[in-house]
Structure 1
């Protein structure tokens, strides 16, 4: 689904099959030329409002709904098959509004149908008899679509909570490991350094050298243990993580496109690239005002070029602590990050591949 506030548009063309009620009179009744023209114009206006509704959020869907109702009401004296258009209006009303407002608006729509039947010459005796049940039934489908949307939102929110909890657990694990490792190690280093200082003051250089050698070994062992602890960050590989990030963008309403071949990297570089892309995608969803995003992988000689571009029409770049930390993380693997304004923000990661596994 494109967004939590929008309808899924994949089947929008197929749903137009319900316009058969509007098309049948064109094939079975002889109309004057001006009537054919008016019905064609009404159909085009309806289609414009119909697809407009699919692009709208629920908060702004009242505009295309009003347009559909107006077009349907104006064309009803010519073609009572306009009841199909009223049905689409009922669907969007069912989808867009809370129960209380839905009941009010659908009642007003039923009242409009009755008013049209009483005040206009409608050449279909079953306009109300069939029209009201059809509009109500289709509006219930809109309510069902809204319930489906809420259910999917709850599922995704639950997934996000699980991911956040897993991240918190992982951070706590790393914190505990670092505390256990560094607490004892730093105490030993301090003791060794103090002892070496005292030995040097007594001109016992050989003993002091021994203490410094042991201190160096303790520090090296601690560094290895810290790296082992931090490398406990688990992921499913660059390809799988890229797919997850693209899916997050699409769920947030972006048209996300991937181009190029995702390379194989050693675990250290792969982890750094995944964390960098995660940070960049998060920034896009937080700050970008656009609706398109493209992720590209390209190899240029012995360098890997990764670019993430959006169409957010940004006017300035504000690099906070997150970007600063990201540059440091990439620098640790010999990579660089470049940010540019180009009808949005274009982020480019350049990574040497000589040492890639």
Structure 2
């Protein structure tokens, strides 16, 4: 996944929720209420919201290099609105936020002083009473502009974190490729050389008429080929089976990507591949159910193993309803029964699913024999 792939959905989400911040325009409408008899001023003030809202969404979609255009339109709209309503202060505050967000702190401070001077100029030209227009305007612009600077820094930190995550993922992929190449070279290098050597030797023995010795080398060649095939299958099987711990980490990350808080309590014991693979499938089904069908904001994994018995609990705080077992839960129950365990669930305080499995060596051997 590239960095742009990660950033674009976040930008789309912010654009979809941009209307929420427009609720602050209530401070623009408050002065209009007190001059509701002046139809002309109210009409002009409302019409000026059209270019302002346009510039607002334009700023949300803009890059830093072109942000000056929507910000400029926003400031122009606010300046034109000032003679008609003192609520224009709120329009200046929106511009101050985007200035703090898009530009460096030094540039933002410089713009703050320029805008403060412009507010005093407008106050002088319009003749507002008691200087509340420039004083309140400066205070609001400073606070909102500071919020823009903070959001800019937060965005930069998130971008660095995404970049670091992408670099780590790329490095891990490269290391995994090197490991696979090294393993295949170690497994097949010597064996292929032996196969080629014995094939050449057998060919020469056939040419000289020494068929018994040639047959012996061909038999050894077949044994080497079978052993190589077995080693490759084992290696591929190891690659496919990442282990239950890795599976749990991936599922935990998936839940957190859905804004679900995850807590893990206890530790998992060392288990044979059979139990780990089956538990991995069960965990995946439980997490998918939580994401698809629930409205949880928090979930807890609990692991306990005592007296050769493993107890696992997965619970969340979603609002509950009666559980009707579908293929997913039936599949979990069948897998648990296959391992001679027990599967239960409750809906008293959110959903809670409980799995209990034996860990004795004798029971594990019996389970493995059943599957094979």
TM-score interval, smaller chain: 0.5 to 0.7
CA deviations over 1:169-225 (Å, ceiling 9, x no partner): 212211221121122112211221122022112212233133223213322332342
Q: How many residues align?
A: 243
Measured in 2, the distance between the counterparts of 1:110 and 1:67 equals 18
Classify the secondary structure of the residue corresponding to 1:8: helix
Matching residue of 1:212: 218
CA deviations over 1:96-153 (Å, ceiling 9, x no partner): 1122322232222222212211222336741012110101110000001011111111
Measured in 2, the distance between the counterparts of 1:106 and 1:217 equals 81
Measured in 1, the distance between the counterparts of 2:193 and 2:105 equals 65
Give the drift of 1:3: 6.3
Give the drift of 1:45: 1.7
Measured in 1, the distance between the counterparts of 2:212 and 2:181 equals 38
Q: Is the 8 A contact 1:94 1:141 kept in 2?
A: yes
Pairing 1:158-173 to 2, within 5 Å after superposition: 158-173=164-179
Give the drift of 1:37: 1.7
Pairing 1:33-52 to 2, within 5 Å after superposition: 33-52=39-58
Matching residue of 1:179: 185
Measured in 2, the distance between the counterparts of 1:233 and 1:150 equals 37
The CA RMSD over aligned residues, in Å, is: 2.8
Matching residue of 1:134: 140
Matching residue of 2:34: 28
TM-score when normalising by structure 1? 0.61
TM-score when normalising by structure 2? 0.59
- Note the residue ranges of structure 2 that are not aligned, 5 or more in a row: 1-6, 258-372
Matching residue of 1:221: 227
Pairing 1:249-268 to 2, within 5 Å after superposition: none
| Higher RCO, 1 vs 2 (CA within 8 Å, ≥6 residues apart) | 1
Q: Which has the higher helix share?
A: 2
Mean alpha-carbon deviation: is it higher for 67-76 or for 159-168? 159-168
Q: Is the 8 A contact 1:77 1:121 kept in 2?
A: no
Q: Quickly say closer, same or farther: Cα 1:30–1:190, change in 2 above 3 A.
A: closer
Matching residue of 1:122: 128
Measured in 2, the distance between the counterparts of 1:28 and 1:87 equals 21
Mean alpha-carbon deviation: is it higher for 127-136 or for 40-49? 40-49
